[in-house]
Structures are given as C-alpha cells and as structure tokens.
Chain A
Amino acid sequence: MSNFLTTSIGRKFLMSITGLFLMMFIIVHLGINMLLIFDDSGDLFNQGAHFMATNPAIKIMEPVLALGFLVHIIWSLVVTIQNMKARPIGYKQLNNSKSSTWASRNMFILGSLIFVFLVMHIIQFFWKIKITGDPLLAHVMVGGEEMENTYALVAGLFKESLIYSLIYVVGGVLLGLHLAHGFWSAFQTIGFANTIWLKRLQFVGTIFAIIIAIGFSVIPLYFQIKF
C-alpha cells in the first residue's frame, strides 16, 4: 500500500477523489449563491450564508475542503510534470484536435487559471468575512436573528464593478470547461465506467458543466443588468 499514491493510477485516483469532492462542494456553493438573485432584499442569501458559517457540520468540512483543494492542486502539478517527462522530444507537427477535446488536453492550464481566480475570490470575500471584516458586513436583523450582511458585500461588488463582474463570468466558464472533461474523467479513473456508462457520464458531465458555467455567470450579470 505504501507507494500507491506515487503509481500512475494512484496519482490519478487522488486527482479523481479530490475532484469528485470539489464537485460536491461546488454544487452546494452554487446552490447557496443562487439565493443572491432570488431575493433582492438579501435576506435569503444572508440566512444561507449565516447557516453555512455557523453550522457545525460545515465547520468541520471547511478544513477538509481546504485540504481537498491543496491535494488536488499539488497532485495536479505532480501528475503534469510526470506526464511531461514521458515525452522528452515532442512532435514537429501535431494534429490532435481530431482525436481529443481542447479541455481534456488543457486541464492543467484551466486548473491554474481557476487557481488564480480562487486566490482573488478568497481575498475578496472569504478573507473579509472570516478575518479582516468589512464595513459593508455590518450586522443586520433577519427573521429576528442578528447576522453579518454578506449580501451587501457580494452584491455591492457586482453592482459596482463591471470588470470584476466579467472576471467572475470568466471564472464560471473556466470551471465549466474544466468540468466538461473532469466530470466523466473522475468516474473513468475510479473504474466506474463501461461502454454504456461512458456515454452516459459524458452526457451528464456536459450538462453539469453547462449548469455550473451558466449558474455562476448569471449572478454577476444579474446585478450588472438589473442595478
């Protein structure tokens, strides 16, 4: 068992498990974020955010999520470097668009761009909410309970800045592209596929990727257009 995680399949297994875990997180994340555009008073989103911030189960999941990201990112580097070493001399002429999708060939580039986005995203929201605080976060009363006005912080950014709104749209699209390949790939890697399921997973993966890309893009666009 000792060297399992350094074998080719072991490395991929770790990518897959962390990838599947991150996808579960991203579904919950999108679900909560959707509250932003269904209640302009912000109460619904504030309640959602408050629940996520105070729920003990979520508190336990937070470090696990951080670990998931870390392992996924570090192992993506290991996998990519190992795979590059397997072809020291490249081809002069490549015609690979016929045989594979662009996203499948550029998972590391897509992932790296998502990483850049992630750092910016954490500084803008997570950091302010958890560590430094922000005047916009001044407590409000929702349904008789006092809580941070997370809505003001998030909606404020999207209403004011066209640039940041567009960056968030790009972020959503990048994640969608990453998952267009990543979704079915994760199942293929853990051995959950055969000729029939491969097609089903690829189909579901495409739908899933589109929902993620459109879901996250629609939020900043909503604030830009409506306000």
Chain B
Amino acid sequence: MSPRDDHAEVATATSGTPGAAQRGNTGPVWVLGMLLLRDLRVLTRDLGQFILRTVMQPLLFTFVFAYVFPKIGQGIGAVGHAGPSFATILVPGLVAVAINFQGIQAVALPLVQEFSYTKEIEDRILAPVPVWMVGLEKILSGVIQSIVAAAVVFPIVLLVHAKGQAPEVHVASWPLFLVVVLLASFLGASFGLLIGTTFDPRKLPLLFSLIVIPITFLGCIYYPWATLSPIPWLKYAVLVNPLVYMSEGLRAALTPSLPHMPEAAFLSVLSVGTLAMALLALRMFHRRVVD
C-alpha cells in the first residue's frame, strides 16, 4: 500500500477553502493598478537606460540639423534660408517620433520576451483579471512611458540649436496639444501591443528596418505634410503612416505658423485609428494567450 493513500478523508474534514479568506482587494482596477506599479518598478530600476534610449536620437537630430548645419552653412537650415528655422519644423516632428517609438518599444520589446519559449507572460496572465485587461495594462503602461518620453525630449529640441536658430514654438491650444499627445501615445502603445503579440521573436531585427525606419523617414517629421505637394504620389502614400498624423497634430498645436493638416483630419484619423488599433491589438493578444 502507498504511504499516503488514506490521508484524503482526514484532510477533507479539516481544511476549508483558504483562498476565500484572502480576497477583498482584487477588483479589476486594483489588479490593473498593481500591474502598472510593477512596470513602474522595472522602469525606475532601468531609468538611466530609459532616458538614454529616449534622448539619443532626438538629441543627435537637433544637434546636427539645428546646430551643426546652420553653423557650417550646409543645406537645410542654413543661415539666410528663407522661412522658419529648421528647428521649428523639427520640434513637433521629433516629439511625435519620441512618443510613437517609446510606445512601440516599451510595449513590444518586453512582450516579445514574455511570449518567448518559456511563456513568462503567464506570470501576468494568471493575475485575477480578464486577459484583455492584461493587454490594456500594457497599453496604459506604454502610454505613460510615451508621455514621459515627450516630456524629456521637448526641452531638448527646444534648447539645442545654433544662435539665431531658436524654434518658434508656442502652444496655441493646450487642450488640442494634450489631446494630440494622448491620442498619439495610445496609438503608438496599441501598435506596440499588436507588434509584440504578432511578431515572430526571431524576426525582431526586421522590426527596425521594416517598420521603425520607414515610418520615421516617411512620417512628416523633417517636413510638413503640405510641402510634399511636388510629389503627389508620395503625399498620398504617406497617409497610411500613423506618424504623419501625430507630427501634423503636434505641428498644429505647437507651431501653428507652419503649414499643417486641418484639425478635423488628424483628430478623426488619430481617434478612429487609435480605437481600431487598440481593439485589434487586444483581440490578437487574447487569441495569442488563450489556446
């Protein structure tokens, strides 16, 4: 006879359901908040890395385009060039890039690791909330990191420039500015969730050459959309790029003196796009998590 055969009856008599006593705070909003706290812990532990990753690209861009080029009288942004300084064009563009890529990176990169062969994702999936809320938490976490990135990048692009090349920035409408920042952050983070959920980890290096770089260069960050008129096919082709609407939206909010898309256009695309992207990403996330 096995040593433990007869414990069953005894144990039945003595034990209750221990889980019941412990519950209380496990409302979905609580769990979501705790998952965000966890992300915050990870973020603050790697704060230096976060800042470096966020700051380098815009810092180098403004340095080269708004400081070096005007100094050496080279091409765009050269002294004596008519119209607004190139720094003025760059401010909204670089803030938009920062928001967009922070959102994509902050959500997609950890997620790819969590989905990799050991399925670390289960650690969070087993938290007592519906699966879609774990996905939503990842979007919210990305949104927060995007907004922090925007706040870090903004002073840099504002302050780094050659003498006389200061960007002309004034917030024409705070509500518009905040709405655009928020929508852009949600869109980027939702896109990140979609990428992290559907991208094959082995193809991760392709993420940059296939998605990040094309989106950046064709995202109207170095030029207002309206100035693409001489190349009509390109002007309309770039409309599939979400970054275009983020850049143009921030242009309208920060540098209204420059040409920019009508408010109704970028606001409607950003809000409908965000909603559609978030729903699609959450759906794919659920499908990936639940067999």
Chain A complexes with chain B: no
Binding site for A on B (CB under 8 A): none
